[in-house]
A and B are shown apart, each in its own frame.
Chain A
């Protein structure tokens, strides 16, 4: 079991430009971004990626009222993934199902809301909600999902800044290999657009994007990029051991081929290209591959002036000039930075490439920054390629956490 092959059998997602994988993929191939203006408390109109899924599709009104936005996103994604997987969920042993959800942060939204609420009552804490603690515990999104679905196996979140989406999948694969669970719902979610603090924090850091046209605001690799567009979103997968998936005749999107997680140990916020390159190399080695075997590299690049250059430096160090079949793209250019959901969503957007042999581009690159001009970049137009057998997904986060995840085409 330790070396069991782990496969992806279902995908459920909500992104600022789509509420299902087919819709999301279609928009990625057609250059349709999903950034809009929204009112942010104390800050006025800001650019953000907002999801427009129907929370009441899978929740009662009371669940939505009592729970959190991250909980609603998780429940929507989990239910969609289960439906997509075709598994007979009713017949499953619910204590053998694990829920592993990556989060950049959780609880800021609810805490800010409560402070705002008691500000209307002269800061008298007797008006503080009794729901504050269940809403803000770090496991909230996973816990709400377990409640909604009646899953009694392990359900918790993984805090890994913006590397968290990948971490959900990696952790689930590990738990399946350890035999801790037989079926996993995993990935990442984010409700971060509902906390003014994250907008204000990035603004104070001079890292918040501005642009007159919302859809052009998120522009990784472009010379005129000026920061991050903050987004909400979620993407959860169903993961299974290959034997189980085959036994039930499941549709298989791809196989987890390799992964690696490491830390920079060098700065609170600045990325470290040396450690990023080490992380990517280690994931490729674990997959038993060489850099030239990787066909798509989905970058983490968030459109900060320095961060994009440093990731390109890391990619150049690993792939250099000798990987003619390696194509590089970026999904944040469409949907902004979905924080804890980013890695999971961005991987999902590329999975259909195994079937359509098309690499979705990074859009909004009107003037490529020479320091980001790495070989294989797919810019502004989709690129039809001869072969897509492997996808490498980069996700990096603050406090220097790096993750790289490789999914390969399933071959029995």
Chain B
């Protein structure tokens, strides 16, 4: 998985948990909470959906890594690759 593909996965999850938001112009370097109506429960949703859909665990200490699409990609892409490697 590439970082761009990883961002797409995160955006797909956000589209489901924040269905009123316009995601066509999300800036990858800007904090998601600064450009979208997302609260702490929504971030728990992102964590839950990563777990359910992709088998990826995000420990609470790492939640800050999900702040922006860029940081999501940096943090999650190795996890996706690790899950893929496990088969």
Is the A/B pair a real complex?
A: yes
Q: Are B52 and A61 in contact (CB under 8 A)?
A: no
Q: Are B41 and A130 in contact (CB under 8 A)?
A: yes
User: Chain A residues with Cβ under 8 A from B51's Cβ?
Assistant: 126-127
Q: Are B19 and A61 in contact (CB under 8 A)?
A: yes
Query: A121-B52, A127-B51, A129-B48 are known contacts. Are A60 and B20 too (CB-CB below 8 A)?
Result: yes
Q: Are A130 and B44 in contact (CB under 8 A)?
A: yes
- Write the chain B residue with the least CB distance to A124: B51
User: Chain B residues with Cβ under 8 A from A61's Cβ?
Assistant: 19-20
Q: How far is the CA of A131 from the CA of B41 in the complex (A)?
A: 8
Per-residue CB contact flags for chain B residues 33-59 toward chain A (1 = under 8 Å, else 0) read: 000010001001100100110000000
Does any Cβ of A come within 8 Å of B67's Cβ? no
Q: How far is the CA of A66 from the CA of B19 in the complex (A)?
A: 11
Does any Cβ of B come within 8 Å of A3's Cβ? no
Q: Are A130 and B48 in contact (CB under 8 A)?
A: yes
Does any Cβ of A come within 8 Å of B18's Cβ? yes
User: Chain B residues with Cβ under 8 A from A126's Cβ?
Assistant: 51
Query: A61-B19, A61-B20 are known contacts. Are A66 and B41 too (CB-CB below 8 A)?
Result: yes
- Chain A nearest CB from B5 CB (Å) reads 24
User: Chain A residues with Cβ under 8 A from B37's Cβ?
Assistant: 62
Q: How far is the CA of A127 from the CA of B45 in the complex (A)?
A: 11
Q: How far is the CA of A142 from the CA of B20 in the complex (A)?
A: 23
Interface bracket on A:
10 to 19
Does any Cβ of A come within 8 Å of B72's Cβ? no
Query: A130-B41, A131-B41 are known contacts. Are A62 and B48 too (CB-CB below 8 A)?
Result: no
Does any Cβ of A come within 8 Å of B17's Cβ? yes
- Write the chain A residue with the least CB distance to B16: A65
User: Chain B residues with Cβ under 8 A from A130's Cβ?
Assistant: 41, 44-45, 48
Q: Are B52 and A65 in contact (CB under 8 A)?
A: no
Q: Are B52 and A127 in contact (CB under 8 A)?
A: yes
- Chain A nearest CB from B44 CB (Å) reads 5
- Write the chain B residue with the least CB distance to A65: B19
- Chain A nearest CB from B19 CB (Å) reads 4
User: Chain A residues with Cβ under 8 A from B41's Cβ?
Assistant: 66, 130-131
Q: Are A62 and B52 in contact (CB under 8 A)?
A: no
Taking CB atoms and an 8 Å cut-off, the chain A residues in 59-102 that contact chain B are 60-62, 65-66
- Chain B nearest CB from A56 CB (Å) reads 10
User: Chain A residues with Cβ under 8 A from B45's Cβ?
Assistant: 130
Q: How far is the CA of A305 from the CA of B31 in the complex (A)?
A: 62
- Write the chain B residue with the least CB distance to A131: B41
- Write the chain A residue with the least CB distance to B47: A130
Partner of B19, one of A62, A127, A129, A131: A62
Q: How far is the CA of A65 from the CA of B51 in the complex (A)?
A: 19
Q: How far is the CA of A130 from the CA of B43 in the complex (A)?
A: 11
- Chain A nearest CB from B32 CB (Å) reads 15
Per-residue CB contact flags for chain A residues 100-140 toward chain B (1 = under 8 Å, else 0) read: 00000000000000000000010000110111000000000
Taking CB atoms and an 8 Å cut-off, the chain B residues in 3-25 that contact chain A are 17-20
User: Chain A residues with Cβ under 8 A from B48's Cβ?
Assistant: 127, 129-130
- Chain A nearest CB from B50 CB (Å) reads 12
- Write the chain B residue with the least CB distance to A127: B52
Q: Which 6 A-B pairs have the closest CB atoms?
A: A61-B19, A130-B44, A60-B20, A61-B20, A62-B20, A62-B18
Given contacts A127-B52, A131-B41, 4 further A-B contacts (CB under 8 A): A62-B20, A65-B19, A127-B51, A130-B45
Chain A positions within 8 Å of B, measured between CB atoms, are 60-62, 65-66, 121, 126-127, 129-131
Chain B positions within 8 Å of A, measured between CB atoms, are 17-20, 37, 41, 44-45, 48, 51-52
Q: List 22 A-B contacts (CB under 8 A).
A: A60-B20, A61-B19, A61-B20, A62-B17, A62-B18, A62-B19, A62-B20, A62-B37, A65-B17, A65-B19, A66-B41, A121-B52, A126-B51, A127-B48, A127-B51, A127-B52, A129-B48, A130-B41, A130-B44, A130-B45, A130-B48, A131-B41
